[in-house]
Amino acid sequence: MKNIFFTIAFFSLSSLLFAQTDFDKFMRQGKDEYKLFNYVSAKKKFQSATIAPDAPVENDADDWIKKCDKKLVSVLNLSNGNLNDIPDYVYHMPNLTSLDLSNNNISHIKSKICNLTNLRKLNLEENNIYKLPVEIGKITKLKELNLERNVIKNLPSEIGKLDKLTELNLKNNKLNTLPPEIANLKNLIKLNVFGNKLYNLPKQIAELDKLILLDLNNNPNLEVETLKIFASKTSKTVIYTSVRNAQNNNFNVVLINVDFFNFLILDNENAKKMTKLDLSNFNLSKLSKSIGQLNNLIQLNLDNNKLSVLPKEISELTNLSILILSNNNFEYLQKEIGELTNLSQLVLSNNRLDYLPNELKKLTNLTNLDLSKNKLRSISNELINLTNLKILNLSGNQLTNLPIEFVKLSNLTELCITVNAKTNKENFVPILEKMQNLKKISIETDNINNLPFEIAKLTNITELDLSGNDFSYQDKEKIRKNFSNLIVTF
> Which domain-ending residue is among 304, 338, 355?
304
Mean predicted confidence (pLDDT) in 412-426: 84
- Asked whether residue 103 is assigned to any structural domain, the reply reads no
Strongest mean pLDDT among 43-57, 61-75, 420-434? 420-434
- For residue 123, give the amino acid letter: N
Strand partners, 404: none
> Which domain-ending residue is among 259, 275, 304?
304
Instruction: Provide the pLDDT for residue 272.
Output: 67
Cα angle at 469 between 464 and 475, to 5 degrees?
80
Concatenating the DSSP letter of every residue in 371-406 gives: --SS---S--HHHHT-TT--EEE-TTS------GGG
Instruction: Provide the pLDDT for residue 63.
Output: 59
* Residues 382 and 485 grouped into a single domain: yes
Instruction: Provide the pLDDT for residue 107.
Output: 95
pLDDT bin (cut points 50, 70, 90) of residue 232 is low
Q: By C-alpha distance, which of 267, 233, 258, 227 is closest to 245?
A: 227
Mean predicted confidence (pLDDT) in 165-169: 96
- Asked whether residue 339 is assigned to any structural domain, the reply reads no
38-47 b/e (C-beta count within 10 Å ≥ 16 → b): ebbbeebebb
Q: Is the pLDDT of residue 29 over 90?
A: no
- Asked whether residue 418 is assigned to any structural domain, the reply reads yes
pLDDT tens digit sequence for 59-80? 445 555 666 667 778 888 888 8
- Asked whether residue 477 is assigned to any structural domain, the reply reads yes
Q: Residue 295's domain spans which residues?
A: 223-304
pLDDT tens digit sequence for 395-414? 999 888 888 888 889 899 99
Instruction: Provide the pLDDT for residue 238.
Output: 61
Contacts of 449 (CB under 8 A, 6+ apart): none
Mean predicted confidence (pLDDT) in 292-304: 88
Instruction: Provide the pLDDT for residue 483.
Output: 85
The H or E element containing residue 23 is: helix 20-29
Instruction: Provide the pLDDT for residue 67.
Output: 62
* Residues 296 and 382 grouped into a single domain: no
Strand spans (E) along 208-352 = 213-216, 237-244, 250-257, 262-265, 276-278, 299-301, 322-324, 345-347
The residue ranking higher by pLDDT, 466 or 34, is 466
* Residues 388 and 485 grouped into a single domain: yes
Q: Note whether 353 and 332 are within 8 A (CB).
A: yes
- Asked whether residue 312 is assigned to any structural domain, the reply reads no
> Which domain-ending residue is among 286, 304, 322?
304
Mean pLDDT, the chain, whole residue set = 79
- Asked whether residue 242 is assigned to any structural domain, the reply reads yes
Cα angle at 103 between 97 and 107, to 5 degrees?
85
Range with the lowest mean pLDDT among 12-26, 250-264, 453-467? Answer: 12-26
The span from the CA of 103 to the CA of 126, in Å, is 5
The span from the CA of 108 to the CA of 346, in Å, is 58
pLDDT tens digit sequence for 117-141? 999 999 999 999 999 999 999 999 9
The residue ranking higher by pLDDT, 4 or 28, is 28
- Asked whether residue 432 is assigned to any structural domain, the reply reads yes
pLDDT tens digit sequence for 267-291? 445 556 678 887 787 777 888 777 8
Q: How crowded is residue 96: how many other Cβ atoms within 10 Å of its Cβ?
A: 25
The span from the CA of 404 to the CA of 156, in Å, is 70
Q: Is the pLDDT of residue 433 over 90?
A: no
pLDDT bin (cut points 50, 70, 90) of residue 439 is very high
* Residues 383 and 275 grouped into a single domain: no
The span from the CA of 296 to the CA of 317, in Å, is 7
pLDDT bin (cut points 50, 70, 90) of residue 48 is very low
Contacts of 231 (CB under 8 A, 6+ apart): 260, 281, 282, 283
In the chain, the percentage of residues whose pLDDT exceeds 90 is 40
Mean predicted confidence (pLDDT) in 424-432: 81
- Asked whether residue 173 is assigned to any structural domain, the reply reads no
Instruction: Provide the pLDDT for residue 271.
Output: 59
Instruction: Provide the pLDDT for residue 269.
Output: 56
Is pTM, for the whole model, over 0.85? no
Range with the lowest mean pLDDT among 179-183, 203-207, 361-365? Answer: 203-207
Instruction: Provide the pLDDT for residue 14.
Output: 27
Domain count, the chain: 2
Q: By C-alpha distance, which of 385, 387, 345, 350 is closest to 368?
A: 345
Range with the lowest mean pLDDT among 60-64, 131-135, 170-174, 382-386? Answer: 60-64
Q: By C-alpha distance, which of 405, 443, 441, 406 is closest to 423?
A: 443
Q: Note whether 276 and 298 are within 8 A (CB).
A: yes
Strongest mean pLDDT among 226-230, 266-270, 467-471? 467-471
Range with the lowest mean pLDDT among 17-31, 192-206, 246-260? Answer: 17-31
Q: Is the pLDDT of residue 420 over 50?
A: yes
pLDDT bin (cut points 50, 70, 90) of residue 144 is very high
The span from the CA of 482 to the CA of 475, in Å, is 11
Q: By C-alpha distance, which of 46, 45, 52 is closest to 69?
A: 52
* Residues 389 and 483 grouped into a single domain: yes
pLDDT bin (cut points 50, 70, 90) of residue 13 is very low
Domain CATH code at residue 482: 3.80.10.10
Q: Is the pLDDT of residue 55 over 80?
A: no
Instruction: Provide the pLDDT for residue 346.
Output: 97
